[in-house]
Structures are given as C-alpha cells and as structure tokens.
C-alpha cells in the first residue's frame, strides 16, 4: 500500500485563515483511495524535514510572515525539499514568503527565494471571490478545471524570471491590480495573473480552503507527490464538492 507524508509548515504562525484545511483535504482524498497518508505539523523553531512527500503553507499576518521567513531561511529544509522536486503548495502569506521579498511591518523583508516574485502593496485591499482559468504551465500541465477561491490580501505580487501564473483571472484581483501591474509596463499576463507555478512550487491567493474548492488541484498535488500522472489516480465522486463548485462559480 502506498504511503504519503504531508508536511504542514508552521501552522502556529501561518494558520490564520483556516488554510490548514488543505493538508486535511490531501490526507482525506489519499485515504479514500486506500493510500496511507499522515500529516506532519512542523512548528516555529522546529527543523523542517526535507524528505516528506508534499508540503503545505497557509496565510498569516505581517508579524507571522516575518517570523516564518526568518525560520524558513535559517532552517533550509524547505529549500532542500524544493531542490529535490518535492511539491510545495502555499497560500497568501505563504505565497509571499516564498518569493524574493515582501513588505511587512512597514519594511521590505527577504523571502525564501523559491519563486521569482516580489510583493509590494496594493492601493486597496483585495477581498472577495476570485476565479481563474488554469494556465497549464509546468507542474500544472494536466490541470483543466476552473480555479475558485476567496482572496483577502493587500499584496501585489509581481512575477519575473521563471515564475508563471497558475491561472488567468476570470473574477477578482489575483496577484495584483492595475496599479501594481503598471510597475511592469505593458505586461498583460502580469495584470491578469493569479498565483504562481515555478519548479515544484504552486502558490495562490485562494483561501477556501483552496483544495476543498478545487479537487482537481488537490489530486494533481497528490499525483505529483506519488510520482504519478493525474490521470492515473482513481477518480472520486463527491456530489457535495461538485455542488459547492457550482455555487461558487455560478
């Protein structure tokens, strides 16, 4: 029987918005397929194993972000896991922390540098439903279902280098508003971007939790962690999830 280890990274500081639920969704969807799955919470100050199968990070406030970035940089475990190609899924503050830099507490803070992104400040808080069409780049090549979530952030996250958007906006603000995107003149892809895909990292501003609202994305992460194609995973029919998606995408 296959086994799966899921790292829940810093739930004590990056757990403000219920994004711990993403790890629970991954475990449940694995177990429903007969896969032994265990969640390994790793708290602030604890070493981060670099040999888990899959990692999740959630959202948090400014002080939490600063603490998280400092720990992740000094520990290095998550960076080694990314270098080994282990899937990492990050939400909101976790998204910003994995970039090159972000603004928190009135200053610019160094990020972990796993994605080529810099977060500045939006003119107005982005709050409400967000939806996008998957770009299908890199790790997300097999992803086809519309992505849905709830955004609540003040960050304008500008992508560069090898970073590519996870989705193209249908609704909401996503990574940045027009003011933020204007820092990269004429970049239409930047203006309508939601989330990021780079290497083994997938990050997004979607709360919800995101993987409860996007089962195909959850299964993609499971498949990558298991070294499989998405199509090789046994399908799951859960009517309640389909009803939720219809309501949110309606």
Residues labelled as active-site residues: 92, 207
Residues β-bridged to residue 159:
117
Could you identify the residue written with the tokens 């992740």? 72
CB-CB contact of 50 with 82 (8 Å): no
Does 125 belong to an annotated binding site?
A: yes
Q: How far apart are CA 8 and CA 161, in angstroms?
A: 28
Phi, psi (rounded to 5 degrees) for 189: -60, -40
181-212 core/surface letters (b: 16 or more CB in 10 A; e: else): beeeeebeebbbbbbbbbbbbbbbbbbbbbbb
Compute, in degrees rounded to 10, the torsion defined by CA atoms 149, 57, 231, 4.
-140
Residue stretches of the annotated binding site for substrate: 125
Residue stretches of the annotated binding site: 125
């Amino acid at each position: 029987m296959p086994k799966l280890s899921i790292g829940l990274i810093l739930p004590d500081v990056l757990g403000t918005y219920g994004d711990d639920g993403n790890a629970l969704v991954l475990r449940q969807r694995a177990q429903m397929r007969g896969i032994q799955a265990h969640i390994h919470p790793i708290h602030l100050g604890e070493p981060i194993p670099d040999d888990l199968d899959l990692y999740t990070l959630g959202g948090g406030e400014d002080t939490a972000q600063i603490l998280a970035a400092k720990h992740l940089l000094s520990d290095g475990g998550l960076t080694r896991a990314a270098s080994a190609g282990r899937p990492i899924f990050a939400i909101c503050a976790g998204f910003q922390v994995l970039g090159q830099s972000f603004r928190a507490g009135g200053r610019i803070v160094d990020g972990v540098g796993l994605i080529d992104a810099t977060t500045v400040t939006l003119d107005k808080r982005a709050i409400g439903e967000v939806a996008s069409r998957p770009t299908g780049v890199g790790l997300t090549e097999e992803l086809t279902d519309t992505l849905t979530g709830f955004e609540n952030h003040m960050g304008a996250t500008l992508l560069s280098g090898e970073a590519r958007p996870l989705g193209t906006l249908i609704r909401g603000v996503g990574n940045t508003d027009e003011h933020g995107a204007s820092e990269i003149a004429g970049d239409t892809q930047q203006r309508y971007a939601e989330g990021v895909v780079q290497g083994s990292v997938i990050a997004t501003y979607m709360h919800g939790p995101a993987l409860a609202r996007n089962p195909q994305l959850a299964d993609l992460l499971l498949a990558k962690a298991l070294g499989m194609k998405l199509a090789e995973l046994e399908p799951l029919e859960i009517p309640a999830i389909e009803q939720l998606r219809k309501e949110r995408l309606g």
